[in-house]
Homo-oligomer: A and B are copies of this chain.
Amino acid sequence: MHLYTYFQSSASYRVRIALNLKNIAVDQSFIDLTKAEQHAVDYARVNPQKMVPSLMLDSGDVLTQSLAIMEYLDERYPQPPLLPKEPLARAHARAVAMLIAGDISAINNLKIRLYLKREFGANDEAVGRWIQHWLHDGFSALESLLARSPHTGDFCAGNAPSIADCTLIPQVFNARRFAVDLTNYSHIRRIVKNCEALEAF
């Protein structure tokens, strides 16, 4: 398999963690987003959305969207599982992953930041406030979800890493990059510590 990735892409980072957890080796191509390489004609043929990651299978089929890729990996290579067994616990894991991927990460994406600068004349400071706002907005909700759910354990969903943790850690990496204070998010910090003790992350 061949992974199209970039080191500062949190969506790519999710898939790299999932591959590590499943001990799957892949070839990698680095698509430099700061040089707009995702817009190159050759890459648009790989992924018409012009985003990373993309996972090209040995068959030539290309998978896009990080959460869909992780679900595929989990169905195709079930051990170790990236989702709990019980439907309610699975729903919790997926809700955490989707909250982070949809309601934080997608909003703070590079193409959004470029639009804010281009169309609203936002400067770096205003863009920084935007990023911090949606990180806090999402992490506050996530902290409450983790606090109330009986499915929260050493990790976001139970006592083993799941797609939720694969999604959380790259977002925490971003939060640190943009100097977001995580003091109030004790469940998130506890889970991050448990994840970061694992080589796969």
Contacts and interface: CB of A to CB of B under 8 A. Distances in A.
Interface of A: 48-51, 61, 63-65, 67-69, 71-72, 75-76, 87-88, 90-92, 94-95, 97-99, 101-103, 105-107, 109, 111-112, 115-116, 119-120, 122, 126, 129-130, 133, 137, 140-141, 144-145, 148
A67 B90 contact: no
Contacts of A68: 91-92, 94-95, 97-98
Given A49-B103, A68-B92, 4 more contacts: A61-B88, A67-B98, A72-B87, A72-B91
Contacts of A71: 90-91, 94
A107 B111 CA distance: 11
A72 B98 contact: no
Contact of A48 (B102, B133, B141): B141
Nearest to A149: B61
Nearest to A98: B65
A95 B148 contact: no
Given A64-B95, A119-B126, A145 B87 contact: no
B120 A133 contact: no
Closest 7 CB pairs of A and B: A48-B144, A68-B94, A49-B141, A65-B95, A72-B91, A68-B95, A102-B102
